[in-house]
C-alpha cells in the first residue's frame, strides 16, 4: 500500500525527470533515514510546490527566493496552518538540498527562505491613507496603470483572495445591483457588495479590456496580462503591488492579501459585525474572522499608549 501511495505522488509530478525523483526517494530513505510517513508527506508537499511551478511556468532548477516566498505566502493565504507551512517548507528545503548534492543546481535558493512564526499571527494592515498613497503612484495614463489601479481598488473594496480576483469573470459581475459573485475555497459561492468607486474603476478598465483579444478560453476573464492576454499570474500581482508600495514609501511588508486584511479591519473599526465580515470574507469558521478583533484590540492599545495623558507625561519626563 505504501509503495502504491508513493507511486501515486511520483506519477502526479510531471516537470521533474523520473530518475531524479527516484533518486530523491532513495536519498530520503537511505541518507536522511526518514520514516515512511515522513517520506509520504515530503512527496505530497513536493507535489504542491511543483504544481505551483507548473501553474506559474517556473523551471524548478531556476527558481528564485522571491518566487519561493510567493509560494510560502500562498500557502498561508489558502488557509494552511503555520505548523503545516513549516513542514511543507522543510520538505522544499530537503528537495533543494538533494538537487545541490547532485549538482543539478549551483546554489540553494531556500537558504534565506523564511518559515512561518508559530503562535498567533496578527496580519499586516494598511490605513486608508496608505492605500490612497499606493493608488496615487500608479500611472493611469497607461493601460497597465488603469488595470493595476482597478485591481487594488477591487481587492480592497471587496476583500478578495488573490485567487478569487484572478478567476473573476464578467458573468460574476452584477454592477447595477452593486455586488459581485465570488467562488472561494471548494468553489463555495458568496455574494460580496462592491463600492461605487470600485465600479467606476472597473468601467474605466473595461474601456481597455474590450479592445484586447484574449487567448482562446479566457474571453470571460476580467483581468488579463497585457502581454500574454491570459489571466494574471499570482506572482505578477505580488510583484507589482510590492513595487507600488515601495514607490509610495510604504515600509510595511505587504502582499495582495494585505488589502483583504485591511478590508476586514476597517469594516470592524467602522462597526460591522463579525458575522457580516465572516460572510463577506467567505470564512467557514467564525474563529478565523475573530483574529481581526485581536488586531483591533492591539490597535486600541497603541492608541491609548500614544494619546493617554499619563503616557504623554511619562514620555516628556524621559
pLDDT of residue 5: 43
**Is 161 assigned a catalytic role?**
yes
Query: How far, in Å, CA of 256 to CA of 151, rounded?
Result: 10
pLDDT of residue 3: 44
- Into which CATH architecture does domain 2-101 fall? Orthogonal Bundle (1.10)
Q: Which among 87, 147, 149, 257 is annotated as catalytic?
A: 257
CA distances from 277 to 199, 221, 227, 304 (A): 20, 26, 36, 26
CA distances from 162 to 74, 83, 227, 313 (A): 9, 22, 20, 45
Query: How far, in Å, CA of 66 to CA of 58, rounded?
Result: 12
**Is 209 assigned a catalytic role?**
no
**Is 96 assigned a catalytic role?**
no
CA distances from 14 to 17, 72, 143, 202, 300 (A): 7, 21, 36, 38, 51
**Is 260 assigned a catalytic role?**
yes
Q: Which among 87, 149, 161, 234 is annotated as catalytic?
A: 161
pLDDT of residue 307: 52
Q: Which among 149, 260, 261, 266 is annotated as catalytic?
A: 260
pLDDT of residue 159: 93
Query: How far, in Å, CA of 283 to CA of 279, rounded?
Result: 7
For 261-298, how does the pLDDT look when each residue is reduced to its tens digit (9 = 90+)? 999 888 888 888 888 888 888 887 877 777 777 655 55
**Is 283 assigned a catalytic role?**
yes
pLDDT of residue 12: 44
pLDDT of residue 296: 56
pLDDT of residue 31: 82
pLDDT of residue 91: 87
One pLDDT digit (tens) per residue for the chain, 318 residues: 344 444 444 544 557 888 888 899 998 888 888 778 788 888 888 888 888 888 888 888 999 888 898 888 888 777 777 778 888 888 899 899 999 988 999 888 988 887 776 555 567 889 999 999 999 999 999 999 999 999 999 999 999 998 899 999 999 999 999 999 998 876 789 999 999 999 999 999 999 999 999 999 999 999 999 999 999 988 889 889 999 999 999 988 888 889 999 998 888 888 888 888 888 888 878 777 777 776 555 555 555 455 555 555 444 444
**Is 228 assigned a catalytic role?**
no
Buried b (16+ CB within 10 A) or exposed e, 137-160: bbebeeeeebbbbbbbbbbbbbbb
Q: Which among 185, 188, 253, 294 is annotated as catalytic?
A: 185
Q: Do the beta carbons of residue 173 and residue 223 sit within 8 Å?
A: no
Question: What are the extents of the domains in the chain?
Answer: 2-101, 128-305
Superfamily per CATH, domain 128-305: Intergrase catalytic core (1.10.443.10)
Query: How far, in Å, CA of 318 to CA of 54, rounded?
Result: 57
For 64-105, how does the pLDDT look when each residue is reduced to its tens digit (9 = 90+)? 888 898 888 888 777 777 778 888 888 899 899 999 988 999
Q: Do the beta carbons of residue 215 and residue 230 sit within 8 Å?
A: yes
pLDDT of residue 73: 84
Amino acid at each position: 500500500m505504501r509503495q502504491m501511495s508513493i507511486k501515486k505522488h511520483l506519477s502526479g509530478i510531471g516537470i521533474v525527470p523520473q530518475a531524479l525523483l527516484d533518486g530523491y526517494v532513495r536519498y530520503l530513505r537511505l541518507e536522511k533515514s526518514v520514516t515512511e510517513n515522513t517520506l509520504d508527506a515530503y512527496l505530497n508537499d513536493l507535489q504542491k510546490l511543483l504544481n505551483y511551478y507548473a501553474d506559474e511556468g517556473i523551471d524548478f532548477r531556476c527558481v528564485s527566493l522571491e518566487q519561493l516566498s510567493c509560494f510560502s505566502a500562498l500557502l498561508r493565504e489558502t488557509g494552511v496552518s503555520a505548523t503545516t507551512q513549516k513542514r511543507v517548507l522543510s520538505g522544499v528545503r530537503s528537495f533543494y538540498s538533494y538537487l545541490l548534492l547532485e549538482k543539478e543546481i549551483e546554489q540553494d535558493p531556500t537558504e534565506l527562505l523564511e518559515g512561518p512564526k508559530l503562535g498567533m499571527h496578527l496580519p499586516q494592515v494598511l490605513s486608508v491613507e496608505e492605500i490612497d498613497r499606493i493608488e496615487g503612484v500608479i500611472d493611469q495614463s497607461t493601460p497597465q496603470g488603469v488595470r493595476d489601479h482597478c485591481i487594488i481598488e477591487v481587492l480592497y473594496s471587496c476583500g478578495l483572495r488573490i485567487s478569487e480576483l484572478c478567476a473573476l469573470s464578467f458573468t460574476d459581475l452584477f454592477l447595477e445591483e452593486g455586488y459581485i459573485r465570488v467562488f472561494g475555497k471548494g468553489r463555495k459561492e458568496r455574494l460580496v457588495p462592491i463600492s461605487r468607486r470600485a465600479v467606476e474603476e472597473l468601467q474605466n478598465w473595461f474601456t481597455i479590456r474590450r479592445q484586447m483579444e484574449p487567448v482562446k478560453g479566457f474571453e470571460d476573464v476580467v483581468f488579463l496580462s497585457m502581454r500574454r492576454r491570459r489571466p494574471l499570474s499570482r506572482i505578477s500581482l505580488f510583484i507589482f503591488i510590492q513595487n507600488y508600495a515601495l514607490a509610495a514609501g510604504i515600509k510595511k511588508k505587504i502582499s495582495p492579501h494585505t488589502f483583504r486584511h485591511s478590508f476586514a479591519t476597517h469594516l470592524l473599526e467602522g462597526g460591522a459585525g463579525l458575522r457580516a465580515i465572516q460572510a463577506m470574507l467567505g470564512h467557514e469558521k467564525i474563529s478565523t474572522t475573530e483574529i481581526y478583533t485581536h488586531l483591533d484590540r492591539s490597535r486600541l492599545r497603541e492608541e491609548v499608549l500614544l494619546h493617554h495623558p499619563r503616557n504623554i507625561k511619562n514620555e516628556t519626563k524621559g
